[in-house]
Amino acid sequence: MAPSGPRTRAAAALRMKQIALDNQGRTIRRLRAQLATERRGLATTKKELEDTQVSLEASHKVIAGLTEIGLSTSKKIEKMKVKKQKVKANHVECHQKFQARIHEAEVSMQAQHLIIEALVEEKDSLIQTIQGLQEANNAPGPFDDEWEEEPEEQPEEEEIEDIPLGEGEIDDE
């Protein structure tokens, strides 16, 4: 039996090596399949990352544009505030000048009123002096205290013709 023993052992060892090689082959195929699946997943992830990168770049461009618009708007608002302050200052200045002119006009009117009163008093004084001189000379007085007013001319009113009721009526029928 000796010759069959080593053969059997050698055959068994070969058979064990064949089984081990078959197992390794299956493991390699399974690992290759897993690797292919992982590669497909990685390719999908890479594509998604590239799409996300493109979206992010677009978002950054939009944000930069909006930021630029915001800065421009802020500058415009600041300019409008400055302009509003200038307009308000001009308005206040004009109002003050207007008030000063009103005050000057009031002072001028008061002065004119005083001048008119003085002239009226002087006129009365002159009339009294003239009347006194006339009385002293026994001359008729040219000035009477009663003033004769001339009647105002009133324009003649045009008479409106009376239209008889029967004429000019509108028939609804």
Tokens of 107: 């002072």
- Is the model's pLDDT at 32 over the cut of 90? yes
Q: Is the pTM of this model over 0.85?
A: no
Q: How many residues does the chain have?
A: 173
Q: Percentage of residues in the chain with pLDDT exceeding 70? A: 76
Model pLDDT, residue 70? 93
pLDDT of 106-130, one tens digit each? 999 999 999 999 999 999 999 999 8
pLDDT of 54-94, one tens digit each? 999 999 999 999 999 999 999 999 999 999 999 999 999 99
Assign 137 a pLDDT band (cuts: 50, 70, 90).
confident
The whole-chain average pLDDT of the chain stands at: 85
CA distances for 31 relative to 10, 36, 37, 39, 112, angstroms:
31, 8, 10, 12, 117
Model pLDDT, residue 1? 43
